[in-house]
Structure 1
């Protein structure tokens, strides 16, 4: 077999592997058959039913948002792009002025620029 034939066989083999991998790739269906609020964590594994409520980091990994008006400073500091000092300022502002009722109030906190505001809007809610 010449070089062209070997390349053709290799290409067909890779194409076949790609088709096989695509057919076995996980789909977008939820892994758990319960409402997001019913998800609990048992020994580090998300389950439906009994167990501990997920931590803030675990909620983010599960695709759930945090409540900016109730999340603790240490949990908020773990949100990508926030960090400890901004988390402290956000919680201090929340304690001084009361609950955040608009994103404009959040944007007024020193250190919350456009990029951080966008991150907060993507990961938190104002419930």
Structure 2
């Protein structure tokens, strides 16, 4: 029984040590690319600075870039986590009915946009 407790203690210390090492090596928040977000392009599925295709909406989200709620399509909007097809449809319909959104209060007034969804939209979208 004593060997088992000792082995568990050694394993726990080993895992703790790995955690400390990995935390020290974890990537920092510095950008991986040395260019403005608008200059990021995609070549063979890899984000680069300079020449290449403009990133798709999904790729822009993966790169941490925000989409423009006043220009994003319904199909692109429904792919945002927490939005879905019906809310995307309501948001686009509201945008078409009133014109572009100028404040987050206008976005919050769309049926189905509660506090959590508004936070998700603010984290992934901007109003230009």
Same fold (TM over 0.5): yes
Query: Which deviates the most, 23-32 or 62-71?
Result: 23-32
- Structure 1 length-normalised TM: 0.83
- TM-score using structure 2 length: 0.83
Partners of 1:118 and 1:102 in 2: how far apart? 13
4+ residue segments displaced more than 6 Å: 4-9
How far is 1:120 from its partner?
Answer: 0.8
Which residue of 2 is the match for residue 67 of structure 1?
68
Residue of structure 2 equivalent to 1:37: 38
Judged with a 3 Å threshold, the aligned counterparts in structure 2 of structure 1 residues 9 and 37 are, in CA distance, closer, same or farther, namely same
Q: Give the count of matched residue pairs.
A: 126
Q: CA deviation at 1:43?
A: 1.2
The residue number in structure 1 matching 2:108 is 107
Query: Which 5+ residue runs of structure 1 have no aligned equivalent?
Result: none
Q: Deviations over 1:58-100 (max 9, x none)?
A: 1111111111000111111111110011111111111111000
Match of 1:49 in 2: 50
Paired residue secondary structure (1:121): helix
| Alpha-carbon distance change, 27 to 94 in structure 1, aligned in 2, over 3 angstroms | same
CA RMSD of aligned residues (A): 2.1
Aligned counterparts of 1:75 and 1:62: Cα–Cα separation in 2: 15
